[in-house]
């Protein structure tokens, strides 16, 4: 599911919970979630307080909503998003998660967190 900055939001957590439940109901097994961020992301501009203020005002969401989407460092933002998934009480421990960063300069995808059950993740 694509969204601004590829960030984990409350809506995304809700959708993952529904999809995981659906996979269990229809007998398709477990759900695997990969968080993938990339270098040189446009959401890096949201780290600038002036950009956040102006965009938050123009969008009518306020500055805090824009700040939650900011990516100062893609590897760190992947870790933050995986932590957000792990903290979500609606998500099953059986959910498999992983984290990756796509480098736009060399085309490589680097694993930053190996696939593991939701609350047992480790950094690669």
Considering the chain, what percentage of its residues have pLDDT values greater than 90? 74
Whole-prediction pTM: 0.85
> Three-class SS string for 61-111?
CCHHHHHCCCCCCHHHHHHHHHHHHHHCCCCCCCCEEEEEEECCCCCCEEE
Task: Report d(CA 5, CA 17) in Å as an integer.
Answer: 20
**Assigned token pair, 99:** 């984290």
Instruction: Judge whether 36 and 109 are in contact, CB under 8 Å.
Output: yes
Residue-wise pLDDT tens digits, 60-114: 999 999 999 999 899 999 999 999 999 999 998 889 999 999 999 999 999 999 9
């Amino acid at each position: 599911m694509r969204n601004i900055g590829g960030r984990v939001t409350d809506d995304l957590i809700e959708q993952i919970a529904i999809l995981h439940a659906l996979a269990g109901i229809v007998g398709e097994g477990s759900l695997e979630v990969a968080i993938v961020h990339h270098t040189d992301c446009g959401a890096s501009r949201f780290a600038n307080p002036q950009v956040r203020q102006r965009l938050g005002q123009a969008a009518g969401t306020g500055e805090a909503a824009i700040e939650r989407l900011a990516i100062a460092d893609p590897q760190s933002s992947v870790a933050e998003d995986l932590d957000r998934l792990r903290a979500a009480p609606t998500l099953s421990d059986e959910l498999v998660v992983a984290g990756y960063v796509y480098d736009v300069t060399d085309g490589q995808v680097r694993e930053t967190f190996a696939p593991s059950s939701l609350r047992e993740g480790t950094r690669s």
